[in-house]
C-alpha cells in the first residue's frame, strides 16, 4: 500500500510517567514527539483517520489520543471515516477498545498492559486504574464481528516479570471478495452491511528465550 514512512498514535508514556490524575506528566512532551515524528515522515494519528489504497482495495486506520489524556476523543477520530471500507482502530489502552468497536472499527490494536493483569484490589485501582481487566494480552472477540488484539510489548531495560516474553505482532492483510446479498441479509449483522475488502489475520512473533550463560570459573 502506498503511504508515509509509518504511522502511530500516542500512549500514556508519550506524556511522561503518566497517570490519569496527572502524576508524572510533562507539559508539551506529546506535542514535541508528534512534531519530531512528523518531521521524519511518520503520520501521528491523534483522534484522526487515514486511508490507504492498493488497487481497488481500501483500508482505513483510526488512531485516538491516549485514553488517560484529556484529549481522548474517539468521536472526532471517526468523523471522516468511510464506512464502506474496513476500519482498524488504534487505541494504546485497551480500555478504549469497546468504544472504538461501537463506532465501527472491525479490529482494534492495543498495548499498554505489557501482558500483566491488573490485580483486583483497591490499591491497584488507584495506582493503575483499569476498566476492562480481562484485556491482558492476545486476541479477544468483542462481538458482532469485532476483534481486539493486545500486544504485550517489547519492554525496556530489564523485564520485571520474566514469564511475560517480549512480543512483536505481525498482521497479514488479505483481500477478500465482497459477500453476496444473500450472505449479507442472512449472516451479517445490519451494522456490517458494508463491503469488506481486507481481512486481518494476526500472528505473533516471540523471540527465542535467551540462552543461559555458563557460570564463570574463578
Q: Residues 71-127: pLDDT tens digits?
A: 999 999 999 998 888 999 999 999 999 999 999 999 999 999 888 888 889 888 888
The C-alpha cell that represents 189 in the structure block: 449483522
Q: How far is CA 193 from CA 76, 145, 179, 180, in A?
A: 23, 12, 9, 11
Which ranges of the chain have pLDDT less than 50? 1, 179-198, 205-216, 218
- Name the residue ranges covered by the structural domains of the chain: 6-155
The C-alpha cell that represents 102 in the structure block: 461501537
Amino acid at each position: 500500500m502506498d503511504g508515509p514512512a509509518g504511522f502511530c498514535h500516542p500512549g500514556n508514556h508519550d506524556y511522561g510517567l503518566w497517570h490519569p490524575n496527572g502524576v508524572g506528566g510533562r507539559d508539551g512532551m506529546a506535542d514535541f514527539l508528534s512534531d519530531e515524528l512528523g518531521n521524519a515522515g511518520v503520520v501521528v494519528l491523534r483522534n484522526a483517520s487515514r486511508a490507504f489504497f492498493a488497487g481497488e482495495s481500501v483500508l482505513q486506520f483510526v488512531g485516538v489520543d491516549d485514553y488517560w489524556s484529556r484529549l481522548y476523543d474517539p468521536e472526532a477520530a471517526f468523523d471522516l471515516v468511510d464506512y464502506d471500507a474496513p476500519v482498524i482502530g488504534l487505541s494504546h489502552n485497551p480500555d478504549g477498545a469497546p468504544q472504538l468497536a461501537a463506532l465501527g472499527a472491525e479490529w482494534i490494536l492495543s498495548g499498554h498492559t505489557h501482558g500483566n493483569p491488573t490485580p483486583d484490589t483497591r490499591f491497584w485501582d488507584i495506582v493503575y486504574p483499569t476498566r476492562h481487566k480481562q484485556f491482558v494480552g492476545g486476541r479477544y472477540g468483542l462481538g458482532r464481528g469485532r476483534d481486539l488484539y493486545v500486544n504485550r510489548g517489547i519492554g525496556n531495560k530489564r523485564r520485571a516479570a520474566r514469564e511475560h516474553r517480549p512480543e512483536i505482532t505481525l498482521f497479514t492483510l488479505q483481500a477478500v471478495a465482497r459477500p453476496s446479498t444473500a450472505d449479507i441479509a442472512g449472516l451479517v449483522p445490519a451494522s456490517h452491511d458494508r463491503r469488506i475488502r481486507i481481512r486481518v489475520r494476526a500472528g505473533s512473533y516471540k523471540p527465542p528465550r535467551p540462552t543461559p550463560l555458563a557460570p564463570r570459573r574463578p
